Amino acid sequence: MSKTILITGASSGLGAEMARQFAAKGYDLALCARRTEKLDALKAEILAAHPGRRVEVRALDVTDDDQVFEVFRGFAKDFGTIDRIVINAGLGKGAPLGTGRYDANRETAMTNFVAALAQSEAAMEIFRAQNAGHFVMISSMSAVRGMPKTLTTYAATKAGVAHLAEGLRTELYGKPIKVTVLYPGYIASEMNEKVEQSTPLMASTEKGVRAMVDAIEKEKASAAVPGFPWAPLGVVMKHAPMPIFKKLI
């Protein structure tokens, strides 16, 4: 019997590539995002490559609390069991605090943290009813330490969602529901396509997501992905004295 994975923010970038790679591993897919035309195209692509898979898609704006619960419950009804849920939807907007762009910072905070809380509630409702499941939170290497300028709010939201998931892991330790937090480094995606791509640390979408999928399949408690260079870099980022840290970023 195929396992089922629900992925939010699945219409592009990391979410879409996770869908492709999990389909190749034999998973049936519950995919949701705002842009249904992209979801439909992805569904057609996956079914053409893997005719035996089942792919269900639903429109979801993660900032609409009621819709989050409606969509998650709908997928659970569609499939009967949801084995794994990846909370991936996110936003990369931001501006230095106090520069007149509270609107952008608030939008990022609401999408990346409050909406992730709603998704976590909806996911755990399913897993508690099943008494089984794998809860996966996509954080960021920026969560390791407070970040400056345009990244300040974004990094804070990613630290927040990591702590949400870690709190769940503590609560559920030794029980059938597993929790993974991933900390992706620079992975090419739609969110960062306007960022300078020449950095040697930028992994391709395919390679970066392969590392993410591998960590998820192993049900790691937490993982910096790709492991190299981000696992050692994360230690440096967290503990470097401020003058060195500022030069690093």
DSSP 203: B
What is the per-residue pLDDT for 200?
66
pLDDT band at 249 (very low <50, low <70, confident <90, very high): confident
Tally of CB atoms within 10 A around 103: 10
pLDDT band at 202 (very low <50, low <70, confident <90, very high): confident
Mean pLDDT over each residue of the chain, to the nearest integer: 94
Would residue 154 show up in a list of annotated catalytic residues for this protein?
Answer: yes
Average the pLDDT over 61-65 and give the result.
Answer: 98
What is the per-residue pLDDT for 196?
45
Do 142 and 158 contact (CB within 8 A), yes or no? yes
Q: Mean pLDDT lowest for which of 24-28, 88-92, 125-129, 193-197?
A: 193-197
d(CA 42, CA 118): 25
What is the per-residue pLDDT for 191?
56
Residue range 72-89, pLDDT digits in tens? 999 999 999 999 999 999
Choosing from 27, 154, 183, 186, the catalytic residue is 154
pLDDT band at 192 (very low <50, low <70, confident <90, very high): low
What is the per-residue pLDDT for 193?
55
Residue whose entry in the numeric block shows the structure tokens 């569609």: 78
What is the per-residue pLDDT for 197?
46
Q: Tell me the percentage of the chain whose pLDDT exceeds 70.
A: 96
d(CA 46, CA 246): 43
How far is C-alpha 110 from the geometric centre of its chain's CA atoms? 15
Token representation of residue 203: 């992994």
What's domain 4-248's architecture?
3-Layer(aba) Sandwich (3.40)
What is the per-residue pLDDT for 157?
98
- Which has more confidence, 246 or 196? 246
